[in-house]
Structure 1
């Protein structure tokens, strides 16, 4: 045998090539387990391990390194201890179940545990296990009662523990899989009650921790428990939790390796000391942080957090504001963003409604919530933005001049989303001429969501001097329109590759007290524009529109 094959790294590269014969198959449901095994080349590796002594160890390592079911491991138990049953074999999706037939003695574990030593990544998903192979509730009990060592897979580094379909009482069995070597843990639970008080994880070693549940309860004790978990993390790089208190956030701010932080709910933290005094700390805060996602919070707390970010080179920042904020509060937030975030590093900025929330109707005069060009200009200091999404309660007051200012300030944009968080869309002063600004100054823009007045069509030019070929999707919101053909002519010349135009449809508009008339006609007119643009692509690049 060539000596090169004795180098583990070279064998690994060869095995990766064998395994990647079907790179498009990323997820396999219970009905495609045979397809998965074929795709991963498992039969090939098993044959190699059986027939070539020199390759046996490396082939077994590669064969067992990543597992997505307990079945493979349990089937290495003595054959008299298990039985596989196929149900509905005539069905297009037959179900197969593995039954453990009796108690497992310590000596019965010799072979399974030898293979378990080789497992470094385990994806345990109740949706797959319960439908395909084993009844996890029973198997967990059997393993726990007879396992001769503390951890099933002592060398496990990556764990996905998804038991949302199972009763809460199975959650403590996670201890069977959380070894001292664990680096990355992704945990999905039905609820958080059985887990949080004693999560059996070697906190100091973790680099990535994601904890989410189907049902959350906003009780003070769970804020304390989650914060206690965070305070035990020292090497964490990526963290996703429901909520944290200020003490835990300050602890995370001092960690040297934290790159990504996702916090779901930061609204009720109580009258604790604010962060402002910490911003003058001698040691940099959040020195490695690049992605920060505050799913639902208040403007006041978002501003507090921003005071901790002056030393970081944040690339992506998202903040969700579920309550309507007046223009004065929004101005304060924009000023804080401009004051504390890196002007050159920031690429993605999102200040909008959380995805699972509905903003209540703003009290008082709508004019108190409209964001004008002067307030928006506060954010022009971020020239390298590629994605921007802003959604104040009733939208923006933008005219053509402001549109040109926006396009010049953010010329690197690929996606721009300027809309209203509620149905009270402020009437726009921007005309179709304002779209020229984005065609001229934003060559990479592929998605644009902005409201403008399409009812006044500009004079059509047979050879438009401005043409931008990147834009493929246009969201027009409540933009008025009277002449679909004239608008289609204009857009076809300005954005020749535009494919989709979306506006608020009749149902959406009827839910909004926006005072617009003839919403159904407006929606259908924009759909006519879309149809004409698509038709023009099949007739000599829009020659039919120009000829008319």
Structure 2
């Protein structure tokens, strides 16, 4: 073999320029090179381990009886040590870990987050995806002003943030520490639906962060349906700071209810988020006696001005007033494929008119209602059964009316 091929820098240049169409083929090629001879071994391994998507490959090379992984309730695989650590357990880890120069995704569970922790995270300059499980108790995080004063750019390349916590306040505090990051996606998984005040605090932090211009997806989901008192909260006001994030096209927020949310609020969303694809303002509680301020006509701005919209999930009160004009005033959106109205209320006498309106405006949509007769309370059982039956009729009539309207348009 030529003496030039014994120089690691030359070998690295050659190996970096091997043609490969996928990462799998490139990795397979580097593994073959590492097994070819001693001179190729180290340069090939350096390239193979240079970039890791996460820490799992390093954990898997440790002894089988030392590391174990299991799925948690959030379907994240958590890794832990099953016995005390000894130096011999890190022999292979120490051999490969120094070769890793770029880590793009990190999944960690923490009990606290100090300034020193943030400084260590800042060393991961190319980390793009961070997933964290926060403690149930209130967290005390470093002062944002102290970070700015020290010129610390925490995770400058971060794009995707996924946090699991029982309290939205902890998530808000973390995002405030990451206020310089141009995040594109934020996914918060909570135990209970957030209160209006905590949502307002989060939206205010987002509107004052660098992600105001870059955030495309905001998802706040809750596992349980615990209710809380938000009688003094007007959600049209709570959502106002969020409307400043003009790049949003996926908005998912689980909540107990949405008092104050009305057709005007939806119109403001349309103006703020013209690229909207997925709107999910899920309502856990919307009884027969509490009607949403959102009506069928409130959906018209979404249908008319959001051409990319494919899913609408929100609570409304479905009623209809007969007029001489077309039910949807000529507005037709064939891109919406799912209308999930959850526990929305409906005027029993307006069932055919509601089905006619939805078939005219959203002819290609599947309609879902989540009234569950098995969970009815005795004091409202009759009314809830009536709601469930009415929505079942709307769902049955919708495709029939769609066919009829198609035949009318084809004939005339």
Query: Which TM-score applies when normalising by structure 1?
Result: 0.56
Higher gyration radius (CA): 1
> 1:374 is paired with a residue of what secondary structure?
helix
Indicate how the Cα distance of structure 1 residues 302 and 507 shifts in structure 2: closer, same or farther if over 3 A, else same.
Answer: same
Structure 2 match to 1:434:
298
Aligned residue among 531, 534, 539 for 2:396: 531
Structure 2 match to 1:46:
none
Structure 2 match to 1:397:
260
Structure 2 match to 1:147:
none
Distance 1:496 1:115 in 2: 62
Aligned residue among 335, 358, 361 for 1:494: 361
Matches within 5 A, 1:248-263: 248-263=117-132
Is this contact kept in 1: 2:122–2:152, CA < 8 A?
Answer: no
Indicate how the Cα distance of structure 1 residues 432 and 260 shifts in structure 2: closer, same or farther if over 3 A, else same.
Answer: same
Distance 1:275 1:306 in 2: 10
Structure 1 match to 2:170:
301
Indicate how the Cα distance of structure 1 residues 440 and 172 shifts in structure 2: closer, same or farther if over 3 A, else same.
Answer: same
- Do residues 360 (structure 1) and 254 (structure 2) align? no
Distance 2:80 2:367 in 1: 43
Is this contact kept in 1: 2:341–2:367, CA < 8 A?
Answer: yes
Question: After superposition, what is the alpha-carbon deviation per residue over 1:461-480, rounded to whole angstroms, capped at 9, x for unaligned?
Answer: 34833222211100111212
**RMSD over equivalenced CA pairs, Å:** 4.3
Unpaired runs of 5+ residues, structure 1, are 1-6, 21-57, 66-112, 121-152, 175-186, 208-234
Indicate how the Cα distance of structure 1 residues 193 and 416 shifts in structure 2: closer, same or farther if over 3 A, else same.
Answer: same
Structure 2 match to 1:192:
80
Matches within 5 A, 1:461-472: 461-462=325-326, 464-472=329-337
- Do residues 246 (structure 1) and 117 (structure 2) align? no
Is this contact kept in 1: 2:342–2:369, CA < 8 A?
Answer: yes
Question: After superposition, what is the alpha-carbon deviation per residue over 1:69-128, rounded to whole angstroms, capped at 9, x for unaligned?
Answer: xxxxxxxxxxxxxxxxxxxxxxxxxxxxxxxxxxxxxxxxxxxx95999xx9xxxxxxxx
Aligned residue among 309, 320, 331 for 2:189: 320
Q: Using the TM superposition, give the Cα deviation of residue 389 of structure 1 relative to its aligned residue in structure 2, in angstroms.
A: 1.0
Distance 1:487 1:316 in 2: 36
> 2:308 is paired with a residue of what secondary structure?
coil
Structure 2 match to 1:181:
none
Q: Using the TM superposition, give the Cα deviation of residue 384 of structure 1 relative to its aligned residue in structure 2, in angstroms.
A: 1.4
Query: Which TM-score applies when normalising by structure 2?
Result: 0.73
Is this contact kept in 2: 1:335–1:378, CA < 8 A?
Answer: yes
Highest RCO, 1 vs 2 (Cα 8 Å, sep ≥ 6) = 2
Indicate how the Cα distance of structure 1 residues 261 and 527 shifts in structure 2: closer, same or farther if over 3 A, else same.
Answer: same
Indicate how the Cα distance of structure 1 residues 392 and 196 shifts in structure 2: closer, same or farther if over 3 A, else same.
Answer: farther
Question: After superposition, what is the alpha-carbon deviation per residue over 1:160-201, rounded to whole angstroms, capped at 9, x for unaligned?
Answer: 67999xxxx934389xxxxxxxxxxxx956x72417957844
Structure 2 match to 1:413:
276
Structure 1 match to 2:147:
278
Matches within 5 A, 1:21-100: none
Structure 2 match to 1:510:
376
Question: After superposition, what is the alpha-carbon deviation per residue over 1:185-225, rounded to whole angstroms, capped at 9, x for unaligned?
Answer: xx956x72417957844555447xxxxxxxxxxxxxxxxxx
Distance 1:156 1:196 in 2: 30
Structure 2 match to 1:170:
64
Q: Using the TM superposition, give the Cα deviation of residue 315 of structure 1 relative to its aligned residue in structure 2, in angstroms.
A: 0.3
Aligned residue among 291, 302, 327 for 2:160: 291
Distance 2:227 2:67 in 1: 46
> 2:279 is paired with a residue of what secondary structure?
strand
Identify which range, 519-528 or 464-473, moves more after superposition: 519-528
Distance 1:251 1:10 in 2: 33
Indicate how the Cα distance of structure 1 residues 520 and 359 shifts in structure 2: closer, same or farther if over 3 A, else same.
Answer: closer
Indicate how the Cα distance of structure 1 residues 472 and 376 shifts in structure 2: closer, same or farther if over 3 A, else same.
Answer: same
Distance 2:251 2:103 in 1: 28
Is this contact kept in 2: 1:418–1:450, CA < 8 A?
Answer: yes
